[in-house]
Amino acid sequence: MSLYQATHAPTTPTLGAELRAAVIYTLTASLALLLQTTVLHTLTGDRVIPDLALILCVYLGLYEHSVAGATGAFLLGYLLDSFSGSLVGLNAFAMTSVYTMVYLIARRLWMDNALSSIAMVFLGTLVKGFAILGALAAYLSIDDRLSLAAAQVLLAEALLAAALTPIVFGFIRWEQRVFGAD
């Protein structure tokens, strides 16, 4: 081992670290999708449901600046489409839009505190909602009363998702410590 190798850490993550990160995100996404599409619908009576997959998508946008992060955001949306029975591609488009917005903002601003994470989840929920409403409006005629009701539900979902952000981010960080993927 040369002096340079001893004093400089490798810049690329090892295969083991990437696999551990993939396992962590897969477990978290599976749990989030399971809770969001089954358990929370039952508990809340199909009222306002927190978007746990979106919180994970924002986490990916904040901390995974790679093709893997973008692919993960797309897959989250696609799986959410598949599990929830909505139009295929609608959530995939919205999640990719949210990831892109968070990624672009996180590249320019310091986003390592809880308040900025909460704000990004709130903003991400609004972006996702407007992306879905915009895509639906392109194909369907939306009544003014429906859009007002959708805006009220969207605001409630954004506040609920923002409130759950520290819990979900803390769970992901706990998983990273347990699996050694820090």
Residue 167 falls within a domain, yes or no?
Answer: yes
User: In angstroms, rounded to a whole number, what is the distance separating the alpha carbons of residues 169 and 120?
Assistant: 12
The CATH number assigned to the domain holding 65 equals 1.10.1760
**Residue 7 included in any domain:** no
Question: Has residue 1 been placed in a domain?
Answer: no
* Those residues with Cβ within 8 angstroms of residue 133's Cβ, 6 or more apart along the chain or in another chain: 142, 147, 150
**Number of domains observed in the structure of the chain:** 1
In this prediction the pTM is: 0.86
Would 147 be classed as within a structural domain?
A: yes
Domain that holds residue 85: 15-179
What is the pLDDT tens value at each position of the chain, 182 positions in all?
555 555 555 556 677 778 888 889 999 999 999 998 888 888 877 778 889 999 999 999 999 999 999 999 999 999 999 987 778 889 999 999 999 999 999 999 888 889 999 999 999 999 999 898 888 878 776 666 666 777 888 999 999 999 999 999 999 999 989 887 66
Question: Does the residue 5 lie in any domain?
Answer: no
Judged on CB neighbours under 10 Å (0-12, 13-18, 19+), 31 is: middle
Residue 27 in any domain: the answer is yes
